[in-house]
Structure 1
Amino acid sequence: MPQLTGIHHVKFPVSDLAVSRAWYEKVFGFEVTLEFPDSDGVVRGIAGTAKGLGELGLGLREHPAAAAGIKGFDPVSFGIEDKAAADEWAAHLDDLGVPHSSVIDATVGWLLVFHDPDGTEIHLYSFAAHGIDQTGRRGYGRPVVRT
């Protein structure tokens, strides 16, 4: 089987490119490096980088129907280190006036949930595990037993 080498970029559909660009810049330190104009020369998409994502690119594409279609859905979870990082992000979001969940003891690690301007659910999930056995807890994952 051919090998994957990672994730090249993550692209979010948005209804208003200017509003979403400003929000992603404010929340994630998004820096635009590319613009994608349509056939009339109107920029309908942008791509760039965000602090902490390394080589992973982040894109925003104006597509109101798709943005409405994933409202409330979490297409990606961005990684954070641990509970302290989740607490730092909660404080950062508080400073920006961005509503968010409390820090959640999720299936494996700590999780912080909030929404972009279109209602797309953004997850910040820790790579560090909390060690809590959530097996049997409603709405949580459980280990797969391989036979």
Structure 2
Amino acid sequence: MAFPGLQHIAITVTDLERSTQWYSRLFGADPVLDEDEEGGQFHHTVYALDGGMLFGLHTHHGKESGDAADEHRTGLDHVGFAVGSHAELEQWAKKLDELGIANGGVKKAHYGSGVSFRDPDNIGLEFFTGPE
């Protein structure tokens, strides 16, 4: 039995309205779901990305720590979005610049190339393509 691929990612944010606006600009789309989960433990705002992947923003009704994300703590280091080529990676770097989103520019390594950036809660994000 093959191990299944990722179906969704959910991140906890400190300010749902701010993050929803930011991710809507980044994704170029509005959320497909915005509701409290049925048990009332959290609220989720969810985007449908290409390939069937879902990306969710969660709040826990004021129980969040309020701390900025930090990849040096145990937990999430970053989320990587796959792009098909180095040319597409360059286009995304340009798009980030157009959106006013600070980024590290295209960085190349023997295992592939990426553009790293951060969301309003300091969560690490990256566009990545394998070696060409």
Smaller-chain TM-score bracket: 0.7 to 0.9
Give the structure-2-normalised TM-score: 0.80
1:68-123 per-position Cα deviation (integer Å, ceiling 9, x unaligned):
36334533211011221111111101111111002001341111000000000101
**Which position in structure 1 is the counterpart of 2:20?**
21
Distance 1:5 1:87, change over 3 A: same
**Which position in structure 1 is the counterpart of 2:91?**
88
Distance 1:101 1:5, change over 3 A: same
Q: Which runs of 5+ in 2 are unaligned?
A: none
Cα RMSD (Å) = 2.6
Identical-pair percentage: 27
Larger Rg: 1
Q: Which runs of 5+ in 1 are unaligned?
A: 131-147
The number of equivalent residue pairs is 125
Give the Cα separation in 1 of the matches to 2:59 and 2:2.
Answer: 31
Give the structure-1-normalised TM-score: 0.72
**Which position in structure 1 is the counterpart of 2:106?**
103
Give the Cα separation in 2 of the matches to 1:74 and 1:80.
Answer: 19
Residue 3 of structure 1 and its aligned partner are, at CA, apart by 3.4
Residue 38 of structure 1 and its aligned partner are, at CA, apart by 6.0
**Which position in structure 2 is the counterpart of 1:123?**
126
**Which position in structure 2 is the counterpart of 1:11?**
10
Distance 1:21 1:107, change over 3 A: farther
Give the Cα separation in 2 of the matches to 1:68 and 1:81.
Answer: 34
Secondary structure (helix, strand or coil) at the match of 1:25 reads helix
Give yes or no for contact 1:74–1:123 (8 Å, CA) kept in 2: no
**Which position in structure 1 is the counterpart of 2:52?**
55
